[in-house]
Amino acid sequence: MSTSKTSKNLKEQYVPTAEFYSQIIDSLQDYSIFTVDIDLNINSWNSGATNIFQYETEEIIGKPFEVIFTQEDKEKGIPQEEIDLALKDGRSVDVRWHVCKDGKTFFADGLVFPLKDEDDAVIGFIKILRDITAKKESEDSIKKYAKELEELNTHKENVLAILSHDLRSPLAGIIQGAQYLKSNFDTIDPTFAKELLQEFHTAVINEMNMLDYLVEWARIKYAAEAFKPASVELIHCVKKVFESLKETAAINTINLLNEIEENCSVFADEKMLLSILQNIVSNAIKHSHKGGQITLSATQSDDMIIVAIKDSGKGMSKEIIDTLFAPQVKSLSKAVEENKGAGIGLLLVKGFLEKNNGKIWVKSEEGKGSSFYFSLPINQHANSTTLLEKETYV
């Protein structure tokens, strides 16, 4: 018997039935495969779909197609968009989040295409998808690691620039001045000597403050074991910061007003939170007019606490705001020189907040003061994404 005859006989003897294909589809445990009718109600459901979505067949049959989509996608009309695209192009490919029976979400790679009868009329649709959450998490981890490496390199460059310029230059001046004082001690005017010593004293204090900033900044990147987040009463931290800064504020007759209510807690590292408040309030004092006021308040937005620090000081231009939390080496050095560490301080604040799943933004107008805002989660597993993070600068 020839090969062609054998092949022909085999085809005539065996034609796969619908039941055969149904068994194959039902055996694909890693793939959710189901169909919907022309009214977009689910009318078939394989065991893989049960495995992924947790709905038993009798629970899901008759439910609308959109039941597996997130609320956000439903509001955007994504389910209908997939169907429309499948009708237009013959298929619709999507990569998005879907929802299980228990409300948990997973990331899926999916495909929708229309089902047609013998007359080429559309009688429904079939959707095939698989759970690729593990793959996405792996990719996200790689991206996060790459970003951290990039930030670490930038961090090292900034530290080296500060060490070589902002610390070295003042120290060179102190050394030269001390050498001059030493060489001319017997002949120098006592009043002038006293002025020199005062300048030395101020410069050394500024150098010490700068080193403190650098140590804290480095702690963000290198000392992960020092990070100990817990539930912290916000009002207690504010009181500590106000106590430490009350003399500085009093010199310029600036009123510090605490409007934080009792039992307002955030989930954060307490030392970092104190540093965040200390830096922002300290900067507000520096840039406030005599007789001004600095007010701290807090509001809840979903699962986040939004803290506001408002002053009635000089304010800032949009150009300054745009580079405030991402300074380049030159602008950072200038800020350090002019504001005794303010540039590093705000960079430190941003780093600490990100470490604690928070954000920082600012609203300001020249001559009308500034309002700094930062967010922190209320609970350990709080979602740090809020609408307030999308605030625009003015």
User: Which H helix or E strand runs over 205?
Assistant: helix 190-222
Which pLDDT does position 197 carry in this prediction?
86
Most confident residue range from 333-337, 345-349, 352-356: 352-356
Which pLDDT does position 155 carry in this prediction?
61
Question: From CA 336, how far away is CA 377, in angstroms rounded?
Answer: 31
- Which of the 8 DSSP states describes residue 67? G
Q: Which of the two residues, 179 and 157, has the higher pLDDT score?
A: 179
> Amino acid identity, residue 180?
Y
Closest CA to 201 of 174, 172, 234: 174
Q: What pTM was estimated for this model as a whole?
A: 0.50
Neighbours of 287 (CB within 10 A): 18
Question: From CA 363, how far away is CA 259, in angstroms rounded?
Answer: 19
Question: From CA 218, how far away is CA 136, in angstroms rounded?
Answer: 30
Question: From CA 268, how far away is CA 353, in angstroms rounded?
Answer: 9
Q: What is the mean pLDDT of residues 167-192?
A: 82
Distances (CA, A) of 205 to 31, 119, 210: 66, 87, 9
Closest CA to 372 of 258, 259, 280: 280
Distances (CA, A) of 210 to 197, 199, 243: 20, 16, 22
Question: From CA 361, how far away is CA 394, in angstroms rounded?
Answer: 11
